[in-house]
Structure 1
């Protein structure tokens, strides 16, 4: 959900700029900053951006610059003085020699371009300007969405590689399953024999069969395979798969945890640990997908 979008609209005496930045977040956390002259459009701008981007920590900035020479303007003296004074203070604090006209000549134009310094005498915004602002917002969101699509494709490819790895590890468990059953039987028999008390060998065999059946992991492997298949289908086929992939990842985790609890074999447990490592990376990345 990280991204950046920017758009500009050039009018007769003004240039409007809209910039949108986004970071990862489970929910929508939207901040919109607009100049006072466009305050009446802030609510609609917020709705347009929120409806399309849906999730992420999003900062949207609207600014404008007066470009014509014939437009009557006022300079807000208090705002200009505040900006200019702070710049001089920062220069002094950092040992910058403010030698007068040369530096003033460079700083003054920069201060005049800062927000709210220059105000148009015609504070009313025309319908044409309002529509230009809306188009500018939509174009900036378009650029943001394109950025997200490119990032999303990279993330999906990474997620699917990790799903492939989990399936591979599942298959690597198979050769150890039969040996695991024999190892468990041998361990139980040796432990009972070490007690030095008589026991019914047939009854012991029956109990061991029952015990080993409870440790069978066939169902967990089948469900794990089905979850991996469903994960791929959602990742490749849905427009905004992030939330659903998160739920599927939780189901994957349940099956992998059950495999680990039933393992009773060192090599299988190692494979399960590798699965968990891949799954944790999947869960982290899913949070970045819309």
Structure 2
């Protein structure tokens, strides 16, 4: 069954002193394009998380975000007392104000805060990976639901193309009669004696050039193949794209051979439905 490349997944976990939020969003893309926003403290583990995303999502423009909110007393930032005192001492020579105001200014200066790098706790990271896994499950469910909507739309539009093809078949004999009559009238207007046998031979040759039997058969086969493809386990957007190209080729050939306004109108309607299918197929995984 087909899946959409559009999806969203989110998971939130509460650790001893941190709240971790994992968020994954995806849109359609020709290949897998992962944009990861990870806190610097977890940067060394980014590759591990990227591999998880790649193995699960396969294709699409993916935005991955890992947010960390400190909820306990622990903090990786501390006031650099020596530096702050130096700033305050220098500011005393510039600004005439009390110590509280000097401290407010000094704490905003470069290097007033120092950050200590903590080693990643493996148990903690295991919990984060579980959160990523759960978010991936959620986004894949979302993609499957969107895929079901696309599938229904594809089937409806394929049915419309088939209905227009049936109408083409219904008026095909009428088209041939009109073409014959048009040629006969043109010959009569020449007011020249015509060899009837030669005329019939030329007429048969002419009509063979405008015969659309092969195109009708191939078009129906391609529509059947498209329907089978969206129901198969190995269905993917690229495969559907190739099939739509073949469908379009047959529709165009029927249009170029029709030489009959009512049939050309049906061809235009088939093209319109096919363009909508092509547009939607770009979002199929």
Pairwise TM-score range, normalised by the shorter structure: 0.7 to 0.9
Give the alignment's TM-score, normalised by structure 2.
Answer: 0.82
Matched, 1:166 2:169: no
Cα distance 1:56–1:76, how it changes in 2: closer, same or farther (>3 A)?
A: farther
Runs of 5+ unmatched residues, structure 2: 81-112
Deviation at 1:194, TM superposition (A): 2.0
Aligned to 1:99: none
125, 129, 137: which one pairs with 1:142?
A: 137
SS in 2 for 1:4: strand
1:233 aligns with 2:236: no
Q: Tell me what 1:105 maps to.
A: none
Q: 1:156-235 counterparts in 2 under 5 A?
A: 156-235=151-230
How far the C-alpha of 1:238 sits from its partner, in A, is 2.2
Shift in CA distance, 66/8, structure 1 to aligned 2, threshold 3 Å: same
**Post-superposition shift, 1:119?**
8.9
Cα separation, 1, equivalents of 2:78 and 2:212: 76
TM-score (structure 1 length as normaliser)? 0.81
Q: Find out whether 1:48 has 2:48 as its counterpart.
A: no
- DSSP 3-state at the match of 2:259: coil
User: Structure 1 45/76 Cα, relative in aligned 2: closer, same or farther at 3 Å?
Assistant: farther
- Equivalents in 2 of 1:122, 1:197: separation in Å? 101
| Distance 1:75-1:65 versus aligned 2 partners, 3 A rule | farther
Query: Where do 1:12-51 residues align within 5 Å?
Result: 12-51=16-55
Which whole-Å CA distance do the structure 1 matches of 2:16 and 2:114 have between them?
Answer: 16
- Whole-Å separation in 2 of the counterparts to 1:76 and 1:226: 73
Q: How far apart, CA to CA, are the structure 1 residues paired with 2:159 and 2:193? A: 50
Rounded to whole Å, the distance in 2 between the matches of 1:178 and 1:12 is 79
Q: In structure 2, the residue corresponding to 1:65 is in which secondary structure?
A: strand
Runs of 4+ more than 6 Å apart: none
The answer to whether 1:10 aligns with 2:14 is: yes
Cα pair distance change 1:155/1:119, threshold 3 Å: farther
Bigger relative contact order (CA 8 A; separation at least 6): 2
Q: Secondary structure at the match of 2:29?
A: coil
Distance 1:281 1:59, change over 3 A: same
Deviates most, 278-287 or 234-243: 234-243
CA distance in 2, matches of 1:119, 1:52: 39
Supply the RMSD in Å over aligned alpha carbons. Answer: 1.9
Deviation of 1:76 after TM superposition, in Å, equals 8.0
Note if 1:258 corresponds to 2:253.
yes
Q: Give the 3-state SS of the residue equivalent to 1:44 in structure 2.
A: helix
Cα displacement (A) at 1:16: 1.3
Partner of 2:89: none
| Per-residue CA distance 1:64-113 (angstroms, 9 max, x = gap) | 111123x2442589xxxxxxxxxxxxxxxxxxxxxxxxxxxxxxxxxxxx
Q: Secondary structure at the match of 2:19?
A: strand
Distance in 2 (CA, whole Å) between partners of 1:261 and 1:138 is: 53
